[in-house]
Each structure stands twice: as C-alpha cells, then as structure tokens.
Structure 1
C-alpha cells in the first residue's frame, strides 16, 4: 500500500516550540529520535493515516514516558538512600560518648549532612525539573496524541462522509442504471412482442396471400383447361366441319364427275349408235355392192367398237348420282 505524507504546512507544532522549516519532514519510517523534531505528520491512507507511522509515533511516545518514569524512580531511590544515610548518622551522633570525637564527628557529620542536604536539594530540584519536563513532555505528547487522534478522527469522519457520499452517488447511479436497464429491458420485451405480432401478421398475410395465389392458380389452371378443352372442341368441330365440307366437296366432285361421265357415256353411246347406224348403212351399201362384186372376206371389227365396249363396261361399274 502506497503512503503519501501530509502537507508540511499542516504539521502541528509543540506548545511553546518554534517550528523549524528544515525539520518539517521527520523520518517516520523508524528513526525514533527525530520524530518529535516537528509536529506528527502521517501519510494519508485510504481509511485514515498510515498505521505503521501512527504505531511508530505512539511507541516512541510511550518509550519517552517510560524513560522519564525510570529516571524519576532513580532520583527517588537516590533521595531515599541519602535520607537513610542521614538518619543513620543522626542515630550514631545520639549514641556517641567522646567529646572531641563528637565534635569532629559532628563537624564531619555536619559537613556530610550539609553536602548531603545540598545534593539532596539538587537531586530534588533536578528530579522536580525532570519530572516537570517529563510531565510537560507527557502533556505535549498527550496533546499531540489527542490532536493526532482528533485529526485522524476528523480525517476518518471526512473519509467516511466522502465514502458515504460516494456510496450514495454510486448507489443513485446504480439505481438510475438499473432503472434504465429495466426500462430498456421492458422496451426490448415490448419491441420483441411487437416484432412477434408483426411476424405473426406477416405470416398470416403470407398464408392468406399464398391461399389466394393457390386459389387463383387453381382457377387459372381450370380456366386454361377449360379454354384448352374449348379450343380442342372448337378445333374438333372445325376439323369435322372442314371434313364435312371436304366430304361434301368430294361428293359434289364425284357427282360432277359421274354426271360428266354419264353425259360423255350418253354422248358416246349416241355416237356409237350413230356409227352403228352408219356401219349398218355402209354394210347394207356394201352388201348391195357386193351382190354384183366377187365375194370378199368379212371386215374385221373396228377398233372403235372395242373402245366403246370398254366404255360400256366401265360406265356400268360407275354409280350414277
């Protein structure tokens, strides 16, 4: 976790102590004697001050208080030992019997007592000064600790407020996004439902159109079949009429040919009769002439007679209209 030190302008100076600009950034990473050269400055972490720096500062303050208490206990022990020596000297003086020895002893004891009293007074004064200094340092440490705790609490409160505001903003934004998502989802559902309905309508229209097209195709096919049948019937009727006309024409042509053949046959028969009559006349004439002439052989049949005989035979085979 990265730690960033506070601004030096925000350091809290000790009461009655001049702030020196070159000591505004003490080493709080473990150099304990330099910590209190200026006000405590802790690097801000995510949820307050750096725990290691605060623990180091409190540990150093507790060490200072413990050292002051040990020094006070040492001075009190020296004071008590001096008082014990003084009491012992007084007891020796009360039990001494020699005058000179008593005088010299009294003088030495007086000097010793004076020296001891002076030392005791000095020790008491030094102890009082040390105690006062330790108390002052303790008060300063406590004040700084209180200020540090207050600053930490203030920072923590501010961080909690900021975090609460941020959480509130994030929650509001999340609620807004959730509402938008729900709105979008609802819109998507509605759009999907509309699309499904539209697809169903299109499918129904397509089915209806397909049915109409099928019916139209069936009707067209039926109409085409009817037209084809009608055209076939018409063609058959036309063919029958044409055949009838052809048959009539052929019959008329046969009748005409028969009439022509009959007329020609009649003409030929008439011509044949005329020729027979002429032949008979000629035969008679020849007979009359032959009576006076030598006998001659009978003439051969005329070729025309054979032709006419064939015509008679053929004309008898032809039907007469």
Structure 2
C-alpha cells in the first residue's frame, strides 16, 4: 500500500472507527435547550447540578484538548509522509509519475493542514465558551451562597433577640410568682397567729369564768347548791361556745389558707408549663436556623436554655 493511500485511510478512520468532529456551534448552548436549568435551593442553584455541569464542561475541554493533540499528531504524520514523498521524487526514475504523486501528496497535505487548523480553531472556541460559562456559573453560585449566608445570619440574630425577650418575660413571671407565694405564706401565718390568739383569749375567758364561778360559789354559798351548779353549767356552756367559736374560726382560717395555697400551686404549675413552652419554642427556633461557619446561634440557644433551667420555680411540695 502506498503512502498516499495510508494518508487517505488515516484521514477517514482513526483507531478503527470514524472520529466525530466537535460541534462547536451547538453542544454547550443546546445541551439544556435554551440555557442550563438548575433546581433552586435556598434562593440559589443546586450545588450538585452546578458541580455536574462544571465537570461536564471540563470533560468537554479535555476532549477538545485530546482532539487537538490528535490533529497535531496527524499533521506531523502528514509532514513525515511528505518528506518521504520528496525523497522518492529525488531518487525515483519515473519523473512524471512521481510528479503526479507529489502533486497529490501536496493536495492531501494542504487539505489536512486546513482541516487541522479549522479543528484547532473550533477546539479553542469550544474551550473558551466552556470556560466562560463555567466562570459565570461559579460567580452565580458564589453570589447565591453569600446571599444565603447573609439571610441565615439575619435569621439567627432575630431568633436570638426573640429568645432574649422571652427570657426576660419568663424572669418577670417567675419573680411575680415568687412574690405571690411569699405573700400567701405570710398571710397564712398571720391568720394562723390570729386563730391562736383567739383560742388563747377564749381559754383565758373560760378560766376567768371558772374563777368567777368559784368566787361566786364561795360568796354565795348561802344561795344554794342549785344556783352554784347553774353558774358552773353556764361557765361550761360559755367555755364550750368559746371553744366552738375558736375552732370554727380556726377551721375557717385553715380552709382559706388551703384554698389560697391551692390557687398558688395552680399558678406555679401554669408558670412551669409556660416555662416549658418557652423552652420548647426556643429550641424550635434554634432548629430552624441554618448552621453557619462559626455557629453562634447554637451557643446562644444553649445559654438561653441554661438560664431557663436555672430560673425554674420551686416545686409545689416545698411551698
């Protein structure tokens, strides 16, 4: 087989299969029809799709580079064949046949050089377009990432301010509950002291009546045993009534203190439920905040939860 035939075969087939030429005018722009379409995530593009597209563009650039290397190799092979043809022209006996062979080889070399130059230009255009689109996508991704981080910082700041406000409200509520419980205990103690005073006075009054009865008995012994017994009965009745009044008053004070204590325990339980709701709301707000580079909302939320636990009101059994 002659050198010209080998060159023609190399121009049509490479590695046993036809090599497709890169479609510079349509591959990149028409891959996603009008333009690359990515799913938006947090007011931005899907990072996986962007990375996939950039990887595809880099693969296309690598393919174009390999195509250019292949064309350069073919050009070198053609030049080598041209040198061999020139040597044949210098040493061959058939001048006319060799001259025609030289013209044919020159035409093949010119066509191969033109084709190589065109493919190289197309490959450069493809590489430039892919690089420009990749840079644009990287810039868009960086811009979207910056906006997402700014929004996350604003959300974290708002959540922190709201948690601080809720903590202040909880502290005030707990202080009010402590004051109410202290006032209730003091009121119960005052009423118990009053009941004890009434009971003591009743006992003193009964003792005075007994003494008066004894004195009357001593002075009025002549009035008869019936009158003395009547006075003793009167004294016992008055003492019984005094004891009954003191017991009734004491029971009334005990009921009032019990009702007041039950109301206070209900208020404390309501405040405890409110504290747990506020703690749950703080944790829920913290979970909705995206984690940033330094993650300041997580530390702030931990401090707020610790303050809520330390501000927990006393149990009802200790009141």
8 A contact 2:85–2:105 mirrored in 1: no
Deviations 1:177-228 (A, max 9, x none): 1111111112222222222222222222222222222222332344455556
Larger relative contact order, structure 1 or 2 (CA cutoff 8 Å, min sep 6): 2
1:78 CA displacement: 1.4
Q: Which entry has the higher C-alpha Rg, 1 or 2?
A: 1
- The aligned counterpart of 1:191 is 180
1:179 equivalenced with 2:168 (yes/no): yes
Alignment correspondent of 1:256 = none
| Deviation digits for residues 255-290 of structure 1 (CA, Å, limit 9, x no counterpart) | xxxxxxxxxxxxxxxxxxxxxxxxxxxxxxxxxxxx
Instruction: Please give the alpha-carbon distance, in whole angstroms, between the structure 2 residues aligned to 1:77 and 1:175.
Output: 72
Partner SS state of residue 44, structure 1: coil
CA distance in 2: counterparts of 1:133 and 1:202, whole angstroms: 98
Task: Number of aligned residue pairs: give it.
Answer: 202
Selected match of 1:103 from 96, 103, 106: 96
Q: Can you give the 5+ residue segments of structure 2 that lack an aligned partner in the other structure?
A: 1-24, 228-319
Establish whether residue 113 from structure 1 lines up as the match of residue 109 from structure 2.
no
Q: Distance in 2 between matches of 1:146 and 1:225?
A: 117
The answer to whether the 8 Å contact 1:39/1:144 transfers is no
What is the alpha-carbon distance in structure 1 between the residues aligned to residue 29 and residue 187 of structure 2? 84
Residue 10 of structure 2 aligns with which residue? none
Q: CA RMSD in A?
A: 3.1
SS in 1 for 2:99: helix
TM-score by length of 1: 0.54
Displacement after TM superposition at 1:175 (Å): 0.5
1:174-253 counterparts in 2 under 5 A?
174-227=163-216, 233-235=222-224
Q: Aligned in 2, Cα 1:217/1:57: closer, same or farther, shift over 3 Å?
A: farther
Structure 1, unaligned stretches of length 5 or more? 1-16, 19-31, 239-321
